[in-house]
Amino acid sequence: MAQQLEFTMGGLLDHVAERYPANDALVYPERGLRYSYREFNGVCRQVAKGLLRLGIKKGDNVAIWAYNVPEWVVLMFASAKIGAILVTVNTAYKSAELEYLLNQSDSTTLFMVKSWKDTDYVATLTDVVPELPVTKPGELNNPKLPFLKTVVFIGEETPAGMLNFNQIMEMGKEVSDAELAAAEATVDKHDTIQMQYTSGTTGFPKGVMLTSHNLVNNGFFIGECMKFTEKDRLCIPVPFFHCFGSVLAVLASVTHGTAMVPVEIFDPLKVLQTIAAERCTAVHGVPTMFIAELEHPDFAKYDLSSLRTGIMAGSVCPIEVMKRCVKDMNLTEITSVYGQTESSPGITQTRTEDSVELRVSTVGRALPGAEVKITDIETGATLPPGKQGELCARGYMVMKGYYKMPEETAKVIDADGWLHTGDLAVMDENGYCKITGRIKQMIIRGGENIYPKEIEEYLYTHPKISDVQIYGVPDRKYGEQVMAAVIVKKGEAMTEDEVREYCRGKIANYKIPKYVKFVEGYPMTASGKIQKFKLREMAIKELQLEEGEGA
């Protein structure tokens, strides 16, 4: 069994700051910000004290809604130091999703930036909590969100009703080292420390409860598979709110004393500039990000010779893209990771010494300390190599469960502790796995997991819609796109734009159907179940999409 780390997340940072005090920890070239591990730990301690002064206690849920700003990483460790639970909010969320998450998570505090892309966060939150601008900071009282009391703004010009992140830093000065040490002493490595929301087949997102032990070790072993050391420098263009950012990037780095060089909002040119300027040795991304970097008109202007490794994950890695990354970006040791939020997230990973063929045709073998098996969907029996079945995983990385959803937890974690992923896979005799399909009807668009049920539940609220089925169709750029087959109520007429317009501002843009088809009925099984795979096949034919376009 691989040797696991025994630190809490807060304790890990203390240890690394002691071991590599002068090493770069967090670097934002555009901001002129460069924290050494000693400085970074000092800032995290200061914010942890500020959280205590704010009245945040161990076990309180604290949400963050922001792109890759420095405060995100600081808050991740500051909250962990005092045992508060960081609830990560998808940057693409709109009002209905935000309200659901804040309510379901019982978050007492929300940290947020002003906006992201086309979404004005302040207006969106005010839509959910109209009384915010006329309420004294820290005294929110909304019957729909009974737990939410405080909103903290990250940035200049704090909106009415909110505190500013800098005030939390100042408040930290009123708390002694002894008080912080006392709070830290109560935190156990098996306490929930982060809650990430993943959509479910029930249609409503579920809060995945992850512990320090889950996250620190997953980050550590993922870093080990890339052969990270204190000399590595990782460019991070993937979002922190996903495990890809917070675990595969941040914790893979911190467990090895590696420098983190984030890109705040993905832009292929900024990634190239950052790698060249900071001599990054590693870079992460989903396939669409690597394609955008490789195809940028200024690609050849940047010296990427410092690169060595990184992770391409989030959806199927096209062979040609992986080969171009190796050849043109110098990523000779790039790896791929497979997993899901419920497993912190990594389950399998290719290794730096694996052949390019293995790295593109499989998702690797079990991470150290993880067990993987393929089981028969009907009987649950373990299958031999070469047979397709459901991929199940067990080990230190399996979540505690879904927040306040014991029945849903029991559906995915069996009595023996095996996590049932819902993914179909084949394992070879060396333990290398290929993902061959999905039992669940999940759509993966550009690395974002989309659960049809969630969009269906929302569209059912449209007064003209009688029934709707959401499914994925192949797309060369994103892997898959969302398609809706809509049955309109008798006597009503509807356009494709009406369907999309109804979603705008209410659900994340990436979930809005690209294709809408109006139908009279659906293909059914003899027992009356809708056959989504047939809807998909029909769409591929009608829209002249190729199954090989990345599906």
Q: Where are the beta strands (DSSP E) in 327-380?
A: 333-335, 337-339, 346-349, 365-366, 370-375
Per-residue pLDDT, 89: 96
Please compute the mean of the pLDDT values over residues 470-489 and round it to a whole number: 93
CA distances from 109 to 53, 79, 162 (A): 13, 12, 11
Per-residue pLDDT, 199: 63
Per-residue pLDDT, 377: 82
Domains and CATH numbers, the chain: 9-265 (3.40.50.12780), 336-438 (2.30.38.10), 443-542 (3.30.300.30)
- CA 192 – CA 84 distance, rounded (Å): 8
Per-residue pLDDT, 360: 84
Give the tokens for residue 307: 């690169």
Whats the size of the chain, residue-wise?
Answer: 551
- CA 462 – CA 102 distance, rounded (Å): 24
Q: Which residue type, as a one-letter code, is found at position 539? A: A
Per-residue pLDDT, 442: 79
The tens digit of pLDDT for each residue in 487-538 reads 998 899 999 999 999 999 999 999 999 999 999 988 875 545 577 878 988 9
Per-residue pLDDT, 318: 73
10 Å Cβ neighbour count for 130?
10
**Regarding predicted confidence, which is higher, 366 or 317?**
366
CA distances from 61 to 49, 186, 195, 262, 411 (A): 16, 16, 8, 25, 25
Mean residue pLDDT of the chain comes to 93
pTM value > 0.75: yes
- CA 88 – CA 60 distance, rounded (Å): 14
DSSP letter at 506 equals T
Nearest CA to 16 out of 187, 309, 8 is that of 8
Give residue 550's pLDDT band: very low, low, confident or very high (50, 70, 90): very low
334 bridge partner residues = 310
Give residue 201's pLDDT band: very low, low, confident or very high (50, 70, 90): very low
Is the predicted pLDDT of residue 249 greater than 70, yes or no? Answer: yes
